Every structure is written in structure tokens, then in C-alpha cells.
A and B are shown apart, each in its own frame.
Chain A
Amino acid sequence: MIQFDHVTQQYDDTVALKNLNLTIESHELFVLVGPSGSGKTTLLKMVNRLNEPTSGRVLIDGENVADHDLNDLRQHIGYVLQTGALFPNMTVEQNAGIELDVLGWKPERKRKRVRDLLNRVGLNPDKFCDRMPSELSGGEAQRVGIVRALAAEPLMILMDEPFSALDPVSRKQLQDLVLQLHEELGITVIFVTHDMSEAMLMADRLAIMRKGELQQCGTPAEVMAKPANEFVRSFFLDRAADSRYLSNIVDAGFGVDLRNNPASSDVSWSRELSASDTVVDLAAAFHAAPRSGVKMGNHLLRQSDLIAYLASISAERKGEEAAK
């Protein structure tokens, strides 16, 4: 459990974080989201003390990080930067294993660990171990960055806008990879992004930030169902404004058609909504009963369908904006 306790960060005249309180549970994939200048990266870097708060405390399992030995603390917290930030003078294997050198792992054990993790992130160790970072694509470099962060079996991983520099295809693959790794390893992940659809897709819970202040914290469905204020509403829902009816979700191919799927006949649903109801109604339904489905006409919709749909329209919009 990570607690931010009345944390304030001040640089000269500007206040980057204002008296912020936030608790992140263990094993959670927690997303900090907000526009640039919102203070989300500043907050993230307080966990491994790349930033020290002007006032307030950051606690991990009740212990103040400021009381930890700095290097020891950092060696147990994985960190993934925007571009992978691999050291250009070292091979993939050396980069991935550098933390293990610090911890004094024997070469054989280190090698095994690195090769195992490279396999897990979808890089063939025989092919990639001896490559230099300059010979990797952006996606491959970021996969190695993830291996480096995971190598020392950390308690948690901090990810600072890790996929913002990648093309859409690589980004999707890496988002799936992180979700899968989180599932398998059960490790705490704090993930920073400015992209709302990425936040929705990734988060167990998320915190929306603006100008150094926490706007709202909750599961994606909670936030979507009850935006705390106008900022959250616009940051979150405007993207979906044109296509917010449930018929749009079904038309886009999401949900399970109960007619074509005899096996799903025993699937239960807690509520039934009509085609003219909105995504907000749907989100409210999921908020009330997160685990169960919602029936709309002949289709069964789950929480994951809503999130995937919102992410897809947001990606479409980005494509349109780029085309303009």
C-alpha cells in the first residue's frame, strides 16, 4: 500500500502539487491521468524519491520513504521511462541485468533471469541479448525497459508515460503486455499517462489530476458514471459525446449476441437497458454491479466492452486529428 499524506511540492513561486492525499492498494494497476502540468509525474517520482516533497509524506506499507536508504529503496522499485532510456553503451542483456549487477547476482543466475523475462515480453533471447539499443525499434526498446524494471523482482513498478512515443500498433501490443504481466505477477503498478483512453483501458483504479490537485479517484466505471466535476466530465466524456448511445456500441461490434451464442444462455445480467440509453447509464449500471453484465436488446454488454469501445473511439479521433 502506498499512501501520499498531505503532499505538497513547490518550486519557487509555482505549486506543482497542493496538499494531496491518495492511497494506492497493493497489487493494483493504478493510473495517474491528467493534462500536462497536472503534477502526475511529479507525484510518481516521489515514490522512488526522484522528487522529494516540500512537505508531507509518502508511505510504503506504513513506512516513510524518506527514512529508507535511497539506493536500497530504488533497487526494489522498478522504473520505466518514456523512451525506454536504455544505456547506449551496453547490450540488451547488460541493460536488462544492470540492477542484478548492483545486487550482486551471480552471472549464471542473472543470465537465466534476463533470458526468462525477455521471453515473457516476447523478445527471443538468442536474437536480442547481444543487440545494442541502437538496433532496436521503439517497441522493442520499451520491452527491454520493462525487463530491466522487472529484473530484480521489485515490489512495484512505476511507469512514466511509457508508451506515448510509440506508434498505435506497438502501443496496443505493449498495453496488452503490461496488463498480462500485471495479471501474472500480481505486482503493484503505478502508471502515468495523459491519454484518457489509455487510462481507461489499463486502470484498476485511476486518479484524475489537474494543476497539482486531485480531481477524482475511482474505478473507470465509477468515474465515468459520476464525474466529480465539470473538468472530469469534459476530460472524460466529450470524446464519447457524438456516439454515446448503446446502439453505437453494439453497431461497433462490441458485446455478445445472445442469439448466435447458445453457450451464453446461462449468462446472467443485472439490468436491461434500451438502445437509446447512453454510455453514462451503462457506466452507472456497472458501478452498481461491476461483475455482472447488462442486456441491451439481444446483446450482452460487459464492463470491458464499454472500456474497449471508449478506447477505440478515442483512438479513431486521434487518427482524425492527425489526418487534419
Chain B
Amino acid sequence: MMQQLGTYIAENWSDILLALWDHLKISVIATVITLVIALPLAVVLMNRRRAGEIVLQIASAIQTIPSLAILGILIPFVGIGTVPAVIALVLYAIMPVFQNAYTGLTTIDPELTEAAEALGLPRRMKLFRVQIPLAMPMIMSGIRIAVVMIIGTATLAALIGGGGLGTYILLGIQTNNDAALIVGAVLSAALALLASGLIKVLSRVSLKSLGIGVLVMAVIFGGLGIGTSVASRVAQGEKTTVVIAGKMGGEPELLINMYKDLIEASDPNVAVELKPNFGGTSFLFKALKSEKIDIYPEFTGTVLQSLVTDGTSAGGKAHVSHNPATAYKDAAAALTAQFDMTYLKPMKYENTYAVAVRTADAKKYDLKTVGDLAQISQNFSSAFDPDFYQQSDGYPGLQKTYGLKFSSAKTMEPSLRYEALADGKIDATDAYTTDPQVKQYNLTLLKDTKSFFPPYQGAPLMNASFASAHPKVVAALNKLAGKISDEDMREMNYRVTVNHEKAATVASDYLSKNGLV
């Protein structure tokens, strides 16, 4: 494990540093905005107790909304990326900062307040020389709570394409990569501890030097931000930038790297910016609609089942044809009609459900199709992913269509079922056709000759306006149409998620081997 972690860090350290920097940036921006809102609010409201109590109630109420819900609410208004992440973080952090500052300022010994008044101190002086210094321990503890919370919660930014250390946590969960998970979790925890310690030290520093320090930090961060954005703009020069995003995991990352290589090879004036592990289906689709991204790879089955409707006013689910060519045609037509999007030709491979058996058994019993398995299924035990086991388009339908009669059929944790099959604990299970474990455990996938499973073919999705404006990009991407077999994809997935090779390397290997670039 330690060795695996070491290799992972060694191979990805520059990306990890970048994510750490992103994380820090999001956290600092959120903290600064929080302070700018919450502290003056507390100062203004300290002499208006009723309004202060109301604000406290509102801040507490916001605190109780789950963070995912806040992110979901924000997307239609501010889109995806760092902005909604920062807004959500600020909404959460206002409460501890405001509450502590307000309480600190309103619980100062009344004798001291009276003394300050009787001395005829002007308002500003009373505030900065007496009230704020006396409330400082409370204010600082509020800020400490907020910063630790911000750094922890900022991991959620990854869900909506905001980047940061959360990317590694999500990646780790999605691809079962413990090294990535540990890198993300440990670094964000360490960052939180470090920040908390730093604030503890800062709370002993005088108000004046603290103000100067914050100002310097703001200038540094602001300067860096402007600097990098200017630098990147200068570096890109005249080039057109195309932004391509991918869903979570190794396979989308492979695909978008291929897109990048193909596009850049065909048109040197185009620079492609990749956003791997950008989020889930609905995030990506919304990002494309709002033109935050230009292209992302999507599956035909997903388009028909979750993105488009059947075209009637009732907006029911689209019919899913079990013929891959028809499914693609339906999906492309619906996307054009309903969203004015262009769906390019799909690749060959299908990432769909399949029935897997051990290769030894397949040879022994001469099993090639699910129909072959049905003949002898009474001798086989089976276990399935719980969802697959229950859905009518999963095991129950499959059983009916092929007349399967397993000696036993149980549910099993999805991550365990391949290993259980390889170890002989079960004899058949459901699988995804491009899962690298098929290769890793030497399994055989049986052909779905009756086309029971809906087709899941991948193809680049973009807005129609983008497609017509960039014919060269379209031509470059169309080179992948009909390419990449299930076997190829499994092989590449194996190299990326099991061997931890870089997606970019594996992608360019494939393209050059097949003469596509």
C-alpha cells in the first residue's frame, strides 16, 4: 500500500500540487469574502440587537441545508466551476464568523464600554482600540472554525468542476484507487490543521500588524491570480481554445486525451484545455448547455435514458432501441431537436452490461452467448450488483428473455463480485463490458445475441453552433468513429486504472499504433 501510494504521488506530484494550489485558492477566496461580509455585519448589528438576532437565525438556518443541495440550487444561477463552490462555502462560513464576532462584541463588560464613552472616544477609535481588541479572542475562534470548515467542505467543489483536492477523493472513490483517496483526504486534513495552527499564532499578533498581513496576502493572491490569467492569455496568443471535459474515472479521461491529440494534430491553431473528472452526467450536460465547456463524450444509452424525452408534450422517457445503430440515430435526432446539439458518430465499443463467467468454464462448456449459458445454467451459481438484480431491465428481464435457471442467484457488493467469480465462490455475474477487471481476472463476457441490454456507445457531444463553427474539430473527432473495440478499451482501462499509467500516454499510444495521428 505504502509503495503504491509512493508511486502514485511520484507520478502525479505536479497535478497534486496544482490541486493543492486550487484548493488553497478556493479556500482563501471564500475566507476573505466571508470575513468581508460577516465582520462588518457584526459591527453594524452590535448596537441593533433585534436585527442581529434575526441575522443569526438566518445564518443558522443556512447552515442546516446540506451542501450538495446548495450546490444544486446554485448551478442554474451561476453555472458550474469555482464560483458556485465559493458561494456555497461563504454561505456556510458566515455563521461561525458572524456569531462569534457578534457575541464577542455584544458581551464586552458594560463598565468598559461606559468608560470608553465617558472618555469621549470617537466611534472609530472606540471600535478599533477597545471593542474589536476585546472581542478578538472570540472573533479569531470564529474565523478558525470557519477556515477549518471551508477547507474541509471545499473538497465538494470537485463535484461541480471546481477542482481542488476533492478531485482526488472523488477519483479515488469512483475508480477504487486508494492512493488517490488518501492523497486527497490527507492533504485536505493537513491543510486544515495547518491553517488552524496558523490562525492560532496570528491571534496573538496585534490588530495593526494583522491588518497589514491580510492586506499583503490579498495583494499577493490578487497579483498571482491576475498574473497567471494574463500569462495564460499571453501564452495562448492567437489560438482558439476548445474546452473538453470528461466524467469521473479513467475511461472518459482516456477518451478526452484522444480528442485533444486528434484536434491539435489536425489544427495547430487550436489549443485544447482538458477538464478530466469534471463531474457527473447532469453537471456535464448543464455545463455544455451553458457553453462552459465545448465537448464531452457521452453514451447513447445515457442520452436516451436520462437526457432527452420522448418528444411528446408529456415529456416521458424516450424509447430505447436495442439496435445500436437505431439507438444512436434516435439519440442524435432527439439531441438536435430538443437541445440544438450535435452528436458525432460513435466509437465501436459498447460500455454496457454483460454476463461474465470464468474463461476456463467458457472453454470447458463452450460458452459464447448468454443463450449457451442458459442451457447449463442449473449447474451455475450467480450473484449480481443489487441494482442490476432488481431493475426490470436487469436480472429479472434477462432471466425471462434467455430462460436462465441458476442454482442460486444472490446480490453482492459490486466491487467484490469479480473477485468472488475469479475465486470460484460464484460461477456467473453481471459486468460492464469495458471494465479492466475482465482482463485482470481472466473472465469471458457472453454475447447478448437477443439484444436484451440497451446499447451504450460513446460519441463526442457538442452544441450545434460549435460544430458548424469548427468543421476541422468535427472532422478530427470523426476519425474515431467506429474505432476502439471492447477489447481495446478494456486493455486501455487496465493500463490506466490497474497499472496506473497516465491516461495521456495510453491515449497517444493507441492513436499512433492505429495510425490515427
List residues of chain A with CB under 8 Å of any chain B CB: 48, 50, 70-75, 77, 79, 81-83, 85, 87-90, 98-99, 101-102, 148, 158
The 8 Å CB contact of B121, one of A77, A83, A98, is A98
Is B112 an interface residue, CB under 8 A from the partner?
yes
Q: Are A85 and B115 in contact (CB under 8 A)?
A: yes
Q: Which residues of A contact B121 (CB under 8 A)?
A: 71, 98, 102
Q: Which residues of A contact B112 (CB under 8 A)?
A: 85, 87-88
Interface centre among B115, B130, B134, by most A CB within 10 Å? B115
The 8 Å CB contact of B125, one of A50, A82, A101, A158, is A101
Assembled-state Cα–Cα distance A83/B117 (Å): 16
Q: Are A50 and B119 in contact (CB under 8 A)?
A: no
The 11 sampled A-B contact pairs (Cβ below 8 Å) are: A50-B114, A50-B118, A71-B121, A74-B117, A74-B119, A79-B118, A81-B115, A85-B109, A89-B136, A99-B119, A102-B120
Is B129 an interface residue, CB under 8 A from the partner?
yes
Which B residue sits closest to A95, measured CB to CB? B115
Question: A-B pairs with the 6 shortest C-beta distances?
Answer: A74-B120, A79-B118, A75-B120, A85-B115, A71-B120, A89-B133
Asked, given contacts A75-B120, A102-B119, whether A85 binds B125 with beta carbons under 8 Å apart, the answer is no
Q: Are B134 and A75 in contact (CB under 8 A)?
A: no
A73-B120, A82-B111 given; 16 more Cβ-contact pairs under 8 Å = A50-B117, A71-B121, A71-B122, A75-B119, A81-B111, A85-B111, A87-B116, A87-B129, A87-B134, A88-B112, A90-B129, A98-B121, A98-B129, A99-B119, A99-B120, A102-B125
Assembled-state Cα–Cα distance A166/B129 (Å): 28
Q: Are A48 and B115 in contact (CB under 8 A)?
A: no
Tell me how far the C-beta of B477 lies from the nearest C-beta in chain A, rounded to whole angstroms. Answer: 66
Map CB proximity to A onto B448-471 as digits: 1 under 8 Å, 0 otherwise: 000000000000000000000000
Map CB proximity to A onto B100-128 as digits: 1 under 8 Å, 0 otherwise: 00000000010110111111111001000
Which A residue sits closest to B111, measured CB to CB? A85
Q: Which residues of B contact A75 (CB under 8 A)?
A: 119-120
Q: Are A148 and B119 in contact (CB under 8 A)?
A: yes
Assembled-state Cα–Cα distance A73/B119 (Å): 9
Q: Which residues of B contact A98 (CB under 8 A)?
A: 119, 121, 129
Assembled-state Cα–Cα distance A158/B120 (Å): 14
Assembled-state Cα–Cα distance A77/B119 (Å): 8
Tell me how far the C-beta of B112 lies from the nearest C-beta in chain A, rounded to whole angstroms. Answer: 6
Assembled-state Cα–Cα distance A98/B133 (Å): 15
Q: Which residues of A contact B125 (CB under 8 A)?
A: 101-102
Q: Which residues of A contact B109 (CB under 8 A)?
A: 85
Assembled-state Cα–Cα distance A101/B119 (Å): 11
Q: Which residues of B contact A89 (CB under 8 A)?
A: 130, 133-134, 136
Q: Which residues of A contact B133 (CB under 8 A)?
A: 87, 89
Which A residue sits closest to B109, measured CB to CB? A85
Interface centre among B109, B118, B122, B133, by most A CB within 10 Å? B118
Assembled-state Cα–Cα distance A85/B130 (Å): 12
Tell me how far the C-beta of A85 lies from the nearest C-beta in chain B, rounded to whole angstroms. Answer: 4
Q: Which residues of B contact A102 (CB under 8 A)?
A: 119-122, 125
Assembled-state Cα–Cα distance A206/B119 (Å): 25
Within 8 A of A (CB), among B22-80: none
Tell me how far the C-beta of A45 lies from the nearest C-beta in chain B, rounded to whole angstroms. Answer: 8
Asked, given contacts A83-B111, A98-B129, A101-B125, whether A88 binds B134 with beta carbons under 8 Å apart, the answer is yes
Map CB proximity to A onto B284-319 as digits: 1 under 8 Å, 0 otherwise: 000000000000000000000000000000000000
Assembled-state Cα–Cα distance A321/B196 (Å): 54
Q: Are B111 and A48 in contact (CB under 8 A)?
A: no
Which A residue sits closest to B134, measured CB to CB? A89
Interface centre among B121, B133, B136, by most A CB within 10 Å? B121
Q: Which residues of A contact B111 (CB under 8 A)?
A: 81-83, 85
Map CB proximity to A onto B130-148 as digits: 1 under 8 Å, 0 otherwise: 1001101000000000000
Q: Which residues of B contact A90 (CB under 8 A)?
A: 129
Map CB proximity to A onto B185-210 as digits: 1 under 8 Å, 0 otherwise: 00000000000000000000000000
Tell me how far the C-beta of B146 lies from the nearest C-beta in chain A, rounded to whole angstroms. Answer: 23
Asked, given contacts A87-B134, A88-B134, A89-B134, whether A70 binds B114 with beta carbons under 8 Å apart, the answer is no
Assembled-state Cα–Cα distance A46/B180 (Å): 70
Assembled-state Cα–Cα distance A85/B136 (Å): 18
Tell me how far the C-beta of B210 lies from the nearest C-beta in chain A, rounded to whole angstroms. Answer: 13
Q: Which residues of B contact A48 (CB under 8 A)?
A: 118
Assembled-state Cα–Cα distance A184/B111 (Å): 29
Q: Which residues of A contact B134 (CB under 8 A)?
A: 87-89
Assembled-state Cα–Cα distance A201/B174 (Å): 85
Assembled-state Cα–Cα distance A74/B117 (Å): 8
Which A residue sits closest to B136, measured CB to CB? A89
Assembled-state Cα–Cα distance A248/B497 (Å): 105
Assembled-state Cα–Cα distance A83/B129 (Å): 20
Assembled-state Cα–Cα distance A50/B115 (Å): 10
Assembled-state Cα–Cα distance A33/B122 (Å): 32
The 8 Å CB contact of B130, one of A50, A74, A87, is A87
Q: Which residues of A contact B119 (CB under 8 A)?
A: 74-75, 79, 98-99, 102, 148
Q: Which residues of B contact A81 (CB under 8 A)?
A: 111, 114-115, 118
Which A residue sits closest to B122, measured CB to CB? A71
Tell me how far the C-beta of A148 lies from the nearest C-beta in chain B, rounded to whole angstroms. Answer: 7
Tell me how far the C-beta of A249 lies from the nearest C-beta in chain B, rounded to whole angstroms. Answer: 40
Q: Which residues of B contact A87 (CB under 8 A)?
A: 112, 115-116, 129-130, 133-134
